Structures are given as structure tokens and as C-alpha cells.
Amino acid sequence: MVRIKRSTVVGIVAVALPIALIAVLAALFLPGSGQRLVTLFLINLIAVLGFGIYSGNSGIMSFGHVGFMALGAYASGLLTMNPVVQKTALPHLPEWLAGWGMSFPLALLVAILVVAVVAVVIGVPVARLGGSSASICTLGFLVIVHVVLVASADITRGSQTFFGVPRAVDIWVALPCALLAVAIARIYRDSNSGLKLRASREDEIASTAVGVNVRLHRFCAWVLGAMLAGAAGALFAHFLGAFSPKDFYFNLTFMLLAMLILGGISTVSGAVVGTATIMLIVEVLRKFEGGVDLGFLSLPTVFGLTDIGIGLAILIVMYRLQDGLMGVREIDEKLPFLRRLGGQAKAAEVPAAAAPDRDTSLKVDNVGRRFAGLVALENASFDIVPGRVTGLIGPNGAGKSTLINCVSGVVPASSGKVLIDGRDVVSMPTYTVPKAGLGRTFQNIRLFRNLTVLENVTVAASAVAAAGEDAEALALCYLAEVGLADFADRLAGTLSYGAQRRLEIARALALKPRYLLLDEPAAGMNPAETQELMQVLDSIRHKYKLGLLVVEHDLKLIMRLCDVVVVLNKGQQIAMGTPAEIQANPAVVEAYIGRKRSGKPATASQNEPSAAALQPHAAGGLA
């Protein structure tokens, strides 16, 4: 059951109210042509929302949704057509399709169902793909639908006009449908699935690392979006009464995508503003397209003026506002008084950590990884034990990040095993690894930049939340833990560098991990930020008693924090022991000094451990 938040309701009302007002005023006071224009706006809006549910949330441009509109139009048209008219218009119609003469509402529902079935079938392969491969697939779908419609002359009249569809749609029919579509799109956007899909749009790898099953959510959005597009198609058909396959092809796709992009692809308010703006531009330019005589000036006929106008509008808006007119946040998320109306999430109590079970350590057993010919990692073997901090050090390129990637399943190990509770990570789908108890951060910060700070953590919290648990409230708690509770409503990308690193830690903590892997958490931080981070790490190691693995070049931090240190060099694990043992280990000192002899100055990077830093008496050394 979808729980609808108060902020979602506020968001729906904020968008639906103006639409309803304009439509009602138009219905009461505008002449027929004005009413038709508003009706068309409402239908286009449903289609744009259908595009947006998939493309806006997943970040994958779809060219295929007009194909679903076409299916919706023809399916519903066939069902509502008067049997007598049908005999003339479609004399060769197969018997099972003929003579239904359904009412429009029923035909609308059946058409949506038909479209959903097709979307499920197409969605299985499409949801496996991301980026431009998925886009090309959707384009292929559009072309196939078009060709099939043209070729199925017995059912569709081929490329000729399909006529005889009752004109059952006016402003009073389109309005409730559009309002319902607004509500559906917004509820989906704010839902668990929508939030997770938006997270994957921002960073697919990071979303998988917090337990998001990207394919599943892409699939859900694809089918839901297709159903809205199908509904828009059916409404369109019963608004026009007659149409042909070319009405549902590239021109319409271009126009609907223009609406989506101009307004802002990722918001419902963007869809509304984009649809209205493009329709206004088209209306104005259409008047000029055929040439105008202004008395003192006569403008010639300009072929394609409206398309040029739409293109120019997109260019101008995108040049100034990359995320479209409305940006990446909904109108109610931007306006303070609407935000207050929506209410604030309240922090929950984080349940106390259970006493660590030392038998359930994470085992890294002889793990290796090759990239083509390059051996990035070989024979790493150690345990990450709950309640203990393990340091992982080594020069740049030693294979530390590769090891973390292998352990978290982001990159499969080519040899050896990573065992969590006796299960090999290689055999688990990557998105299930976090649920098995493993959280991680990335060397190069990977946040969901266009989601709020709170949403970043909520994505992770909801991956492991028990039934009835409020993921958002838990997320707030973890934010407080790293000192970011006051920034909950900010977009993650606008935080300072140190705060972004801490947010990444809060996001990983929200997975309630038993093992937490931090890849250079202090990299690029100034001393004050490093100090803050130390406090955070100290507090979470004591509070949650998790098994911590920290990769760090700041040896002072490593030596202060860690119980055990593992040293990698050129992919080989060359030492493991207590900080004191590591300092005294000749192989470790040799690895660093060896680098110095090979011509590289030990001070080449301030982030790298130097041979000098390994000497106990060195300034800022290990003591």
C-alpha cells in the first residue's frame, strides 16, 4: 500500500488547483475554439506526464511513449466505434474485434489495460538497459508500432484516416483525467519506487550500493508511464474523432518531448509549465506561419515556423536553465509557505545496536581482480570483524579501491571469495549486498546531487526499513549523527565538500550495516574538516559497533583509529598487523622507500603516505 505524505498532497493541490481553475473558467467563458485548445492542453499534459514518469525519474529519454498513445487511440477507437459505421469504415475487421460499441469510459479502461500488457512485454528488455541504449530501444518501439499500424490495414485502415470514433471527450472529461494524471505522477515521484529511481538517475552505481534494484523501478515507471500515455491516446482519439498513424509519430514525439524538456523533465510542475508554454508558442506562431498582412508590413509564408519556434525556445531555455523552466524541484518544494504546509519530517529513535556477533565477520579470502591484462589486486585475505576498525593503506594504484569494489560487489572479484554470513558476494545481485549488511562510501564522492540531503539518506534507510518503520524519520536521525540535520532540505550537490563526505557516511549508515567500508573519507579535507570527521568516526564505531574498514592516506588518522592495518602494494597484500607492528614491518617501509628509489619523490602528493611518515619520529607521524 502506498502511503501518501502530506507534502505530496500539498504538491498535488498546488499544481491541480490552477489547472482546474483555468479549465473551469475556459469551459464557462471561452468560445468553442478556446475550449478545444484547453482540452488539448489537458490531453497533452497527460501524455507529457506519462513521458515524465519514466524519463523524468529515470533520466532515460524515451522516444517510445507516443507508440503507447497510438495503441491507446486505436484500441479504444475500435471498441467505441458504432457497429454500423464500423461496417463501412472497416469491412475486413476480424470478427472478435468487430461490433463492440462500448461506452467511452469502459473502452478507456480496456485500452489502458492493453497498453499495460504491451508495456510489460517491452519493459522487460528495456528496463535492463540504461542511457542511450534504452533510448534507442524506445525509438525502435515507436517505429515498430507505426509500421504495424500502417501494415494492419484491415484493423486500422493502414495509412488512411481512421474515422467514425465518437467524439466523447470535451473539457469536462479531459479535466478530471488530467487531474488524476497529475496526482498519479506526483504520488509516483514521491513514492519509494520513484525516489529510488530518481536516485539511480543521479548515480546508478551509488544507488545500487544503497540497495536500489534499478531494473525493477525502471520497469515500474515504464509501465505506469505507458499507461498514462495510452490514456492520453484514447482521449486524443475521442477528442478528434478521426486520425491516422502519422498523427502518432515523430512530430508528436518531438512536440511532447519539447514540452517535457522545456518545463523541466523531473517535475510534475515542469510538465504543466512546459506543456502550456509550448502550446502557447505553437498557437502564436501558427497564426504567422501562413503569412500575415499587417497593412504596413506583409510577412511571407514561412514553412515550418512553429517547429523552428519550438526548437528555438528549447535552445534559449536550455542555454540559460539547464534543468528547464521549473528546475529539479517541485514548486511546493521551492516555495517556503507551501513547504511549511507540507510539514517537516520528525527524527525517530535509532534502535540501539545489537551486541556485535564476532562469529559473523566478513571474510576476504584470497581476493584478486584483473582488468584486461592488468593485475589490480591479488591475494588479499583478511577479516572485517564487527566492533573492530581495520585500516587499509598502500600507495596510489595499490588496489585499495578495487578491493572495496570487490567486497561491495560493484566490481566482481576475478578470483577468491568475499563471504558475508557464508554467502559469496559474487553470487549475489549487487543491490542485495547492502541488505546483507554492507555499507560503503566512494573515493570520488557519489551523492545523488539533485536530491535533497534528506532524500539521499532516505533512499538507503528505505532499503532496509522494516514494515511500518518511517524511513524518512530514521534518515533524519542519521543526518543528526553526522551533524547535517539542519541541511535536510538542501540539495546534496550544494553542500560543502566536507559536508558531502559526511553525508555519504550518513547514507551508508542508514543501511544499518554490520560492515562499513570508507574509501578515503578524509581525502581533500582541510584539518578542521578532518577533525570533525574523526569525531564522527569515533562516535559511530562506539555506538554501532560495526566492522569498519577505512582506506586512508592520512596515516595519523589510520594509526589513531585502527585496531588492525592491512597494507597493499601493487595489488599484493604485503603486511597485516597492529599499527605498531606495521610501523616496524621492514616490508612496509621497503615498499615506500622502494618507491622513493624508483625516482618518484616521496612528497609527490600530499595525500600519499611517504616513507618518512612511516618513521615513528617523523613530524606528524604515527605516534
- Footprint on this chain of Mg ion (rule: CB under 5 A): 400-401, 443
Nearer to Mg ion, 193 or 441 (CB): 441
DSSP line for 367-434: EEEEETTEEEEEEEEEEE-TT-EEEEE-STTSSHHHHHHHHHTSS--SEEEEEETTEEGGGS-GGGTG
Determine which residue in the list 152, 161, 396, 539 makes contact with ligand ADP, applying CB under 6 A: 396
For the bound state, the minimum distance from the C-beta of residue 406 to Mg ion, rounded and expressed in Å, comes to: 13
The one of Mg ion, ligand ADP, none whose footprint includes residue 374, by CB under 5 to 8 A per kind, is ligand ADP
Nearer to ligand ADP, 191 or 390 (CB): 390
The one of Mg ion, ligand ADP, none whose footprint includes residue 394, by CB under 5 to 8 A per kind, is ligand ADP
Candidates 235-243, 371-379, 476-484, 499-507; binding stretch for ligand ADP (CB under 6 A):
371-379
For the bound state, the minimum distance from the C-beta of residue 131 to ligand ADP, rounded and expressed in Å, comes to: 18
Residue matched to cell numbers 523531473: 266
Neighbours of 203 (CB within 10 A): 18
- The cell numbers describing 273, all together, are 509549465
Residue matched to cell numbers 515504464: 222
Determine which residue in the list 77, 399, 521, 579 makes contact with ligand ADP, applying CB under 6 A: 399
- Judge whether 382 and 566 are in contact, CB under 8 Å: yes
The answer to whether 604 contacts ligand ADP (rule: CB under 6 A) is: no
For the bound state, the minimum distance from the C-beta of residue 564 to Mg ion, rounded and expressed in Å, comes to: 19
Instruction: Give residue 67's identity as a one-letter amino acid code.
Output: G
Determine which residue in the list 374, 580, 584, 604 makes contact with ligand ADP, applying CB under 6 A: 374
- Judge whether 202 and 449 are in contact, CB under 8 Å: yes
Nearer to ligand ADP, 270 or 395 (CB): 395
Nearer to ligand ADP, 164 or 368 (CB): 368
Pick from 231, 245, 75, 95: nearest CA to 165: 75
CA 57 to chain centre: 5
Pick from 50, 87, 82, 54: nearest CA to 66: 50
- Contact mark string toward ligand ADP, 95..134, x via CB under 6 A: ----------------------------------------
> Residue 38 phi/psi, 5° resolution?
-65, -40
Distances in Å between the Cα of 222 and the Cα atoms of 55, 69, 200, 249, 410 are 8, 14, 14, 19, 25
The answer to whether 516 contacts ligand ADP (rule: CB under 6 A) is: no
For the bound state, the minimum distance from the C-beta of residue 202 to Mg ion, rounded and expressed in Å, comes to: 22
Candidates 55-63, 277-285, 389-397, 473-481; binding stretch for ligand ADP (CB under 6 A):
389-397
For the bound state, the minimum distance from the C-beta of residue 549 to ligand ADP, rounded and expressed in Å, comes to: 13
Determine which residue in the list 93, 362, 376, 413 makes contact with ligand ADP, applying CB under 6 A: 376
Residue matched to cell numbers 524519463: 55
For the bound state, the minimum distance from the C-beta of residue 394 to ligand ADP, rounded and expressed in Å, comes to: 6
Q: What is the dihedral of CA 461, 463, 466, 470, to 10 degrees?
A: 40
Distances in Å between the Cα of 166 and the Cα atoms of 34, 40, 97, 162, 242 are 21, 16, 17, 12, 9
The answer to whether 172 contacts ligand ADP (rule: CB under 6 A) is: no
The answer to whether 569 contacts ligand ADP (rule: CB under 6 A) is: no
The one of Mg ion, ligand ADP, none whose footprint includes residue 579, by CB under 5 to 8 A per kind, is none
Distances in Å between the Cα of 240 and the Cα atoms of 124, 205, 234, 254 are 33, 45, 10, 20
The answer to whether 397 contacts ligand ADP (rule: CB under 6 A) is: yes
Strand partners, 565: 391, 577
The answer to whether 391 contacts ligand ADP (rule: CB under 6 A) is: no
> In this structure, are strands 374-384 and 362-371 parallel, antiparallel, or unpaired?
antiparallel
- Judge whether 528 and 357 are in contact, CB under 8 Å: no
- The cell numbers describing 458, all together, are 532516505
Nearer to Mg ion, 401 or 500 (CB): 401
The answer to whether 416 contacts ligand ADP (rule: CB under 6 A) is: no
The answer to whether 392 contacts ligand ADP (rule: CB under 6 A) is: no
The answer to whether 402 contacts ligand ADP (rule: CB under 6 A) is: yes
Determine which residue in the list 123, 394, 409, 513 makes contact with ligand ADP, applying CB under 6 A: 394
For the bound state, the minimum distance from the C-beta of residue 551 to ligand ADP, rounded and expressed in Å, comes to: 7
The one of Mg ion, ligand ADP, none whose footprint includes residue 72, by CB under 5 to 8 A per kind, is none
Nearer to ligand ADP, 13 or 375 (CB): 375
The one of Mg ion, ligand ADP, none whose footprint includes residue 397, by CB under 5 to 8 A per kind, is ligand ADP
Determine which residue in the list 39, 76, 390, 401 makes contact with ligand ADP, applying CB under 6 A: 401
Instruction: Give residue 236's identity as a one-letter amino acid code.
Output: F
- Judge whether 408 and 429 are in contact, CB under 8 Å: no
Nearer to ligand ADP, 339 or 570 (CB): 570
Nearer to Mg ion, 289 or 520 (CB): 520
* CA atoms within 13 A of residue 157's CA, in its CB half-sphere: 19
**Residues found near ligand ADP in the complex (CB under 6 A):** 371, 374, 376, 394, 396-402
